[in-house]
Amino acid sequence: MRAGALLVLAALTGLTPAAVAASPRAAPYADGERLTYHFYWGPLKVGHGTFEVRREKDGIEEFTVDVRSNGLIAAIYPVEDRLRSRFDPTRLRGLSNEQVRSEGTHRVWEQTWFFHDVGHGWMQSLLTGETKWFEIPAEGSVDKLSLVYLMRHKDWRARDRYRATLGSDRGVQTIEVRKLGTEIVTLDDFPPIAAFVVEPDPKYLRGFVKRGRVTAWVSDDPRAVPLKVLAKLPVGTVQAQLVKAEGVGAWPTGDETGK
C-alpha cells in the first residue's frame, strides 16, 4: 500500500485563508504539541505516525509528520516518510514545504516555496533535478499538511461547510468540507471525547485514490485535536487513531487550553 493510505490525516481538510479570516481564533495547538497515531488497514496495524508543532522565534510555525510502516507490512512494503511545512499564522498561509518519502522502491525528495506577493510557487526535486514554477491563488496557498492545522483554527460550531484551496506544482485544487454532525468518540487510550465529524468533497480524493471516502473526527473543544480518520478506499479500509497526546496540558479531562 502507498504511504497515502497511511497518511490519511495529512490529506484531510482545511480552510481557505479568507474563510478563516472571517472568523479568526487563536491557534488551538501549542509549541511542542506532539500527537501520535496508529494506522490500521482493516484489522491489521500497518504503521504509526507523529504530528509535531514547533514555533520559531519570529512566530513562524513548523509542522512535521513522520510516518513509518511496521510489522509484516514493513517487511513487504517498507514506508518511511517525513513531511515538513512552514506556516505563517498571522497571514494564515504556507511558506514552504518539504517531502522526503521512501515507499517500497519509490523515492521522493521535493521542496516547495510559496511566493504569495507574485502569485507563484517554486518546486525542486533533489533526486531528479526537476524544477518548476507554478501559479498559486492571489489570496495565498497552503499544502496538505498545513491544511490540517489551518482547519483547527476554525470554530466549526459557527458553520457547517467551508471551501479549501491547495496549491502545488500539480495544480490548484479547491474542495468543500462539510460538517456531518457531532458524536462521542471512544478510543482505547482516552476517555470518551465529544467530537464533530467532517468530510471533504470526494473530488478531493482524485490525487489520492480514484474513488473513496474520508471521514475525520475532531475533538469538539478549544484544542480541536484530530482523534481518528476513516478512509474507505478501493483497496480496503484504512483508519488512523490517536494513541498519545503530548504538549496539550490536561486535555481532554482538564484545562483544554493549558500548556
Q: pLDDT by residue (tens digit) across 112-134?
A: 999 998 999 999 999 999 999 99
Q: Which residues pair with 61 in a beta bridge?
A: 55, 87
User: Would you say residue 66 has pLDDT above 80?
Assistant: yes
Q: CB–CB of 245/225 below 8 Å?
A: yes
Residue 249 lies in a domain: no
User: Would you say residue 111 has pLDDT above 80?
Assistant: yes
What is the spatial distance between Cα 216 and Cα 53, in angstroms, rounded to a whole number?
A: 20
Q: Would you place residue 92 in the very low, low, confident or very high pLDDT band (cuts 50, 70, 90)? A: confident
User: Would you say residue 99 has pLDDT above 50?
Assistant: yes
User: Would you say residue 26 has pLDDT above 50?
Assistant: yes
What is the spatial distance between Cα 136 and Cα 174, in angstroms, rounded to a whole number?
A: 12
**pLDDT at res. 204:** 56
What pLDDT digit, counting tens, does each position of 138-183 carry? 777 888 899 889 888 888 888 888 776 788 988 888 878 899 999 9
Q: Higher-confidence residue: 157 or 197?
A: 197
Q: Would you place residue 205 in the very low, low, confident or very high pLDDT band (cuts 50, 70, 90)? A: low
Per-chain mean pLDDT for the chain: 84
Residue 217 lies in a domain: yes
Residue 17 lies in a domain: yes
Calculate the alpha carbon distances from 125 to 13, 79, 109, 129 in Å.
26, 19, 6, 5
Residue 98 lies in a domain: yes
Mean of the pLDDT values across residues 18-31? Answer: 61
Q: Would you place residue 91 in the very low, low, confident or very high pLDDT band (cuts 50, 70, 90)? A: confident
- Total-model pTM: 0.85
Range of the domain at 104: 3-243
Residue 166 lies in a domain: yes
**pLDDT at res. 234:** 73
User: Would you say residue 83 has pLDDT above 90?
Assistant: yes
227 grid coordinates:
482523534
Local structure of 243: helix, strand or coil: strand
User: Would you say residue 4 has pLDDT above 70?
Assistant: no
Q: Which helix (H) or strand (E) holds 112?
A: strand 106-115
Residue 181 lies in a domain: yes
**pLDDT at res. 184:** 97
Q: Would you place residue 87 in the very low, low, confident or very high pLDDT band (cuts 50, 70, 90)? A: very high
How many domains does the chain contain in total?
Answer: 1
Residue 201 lies in a domain: yes
**pLDDT at res. 25:** 62
Residue 250 lies in a domain: no
What pLDDT digit, counting tens, does each position of 41-61 carry? 888 899 999 999 999 999 999
**Owner of C-alpha cell 475525520:** 216
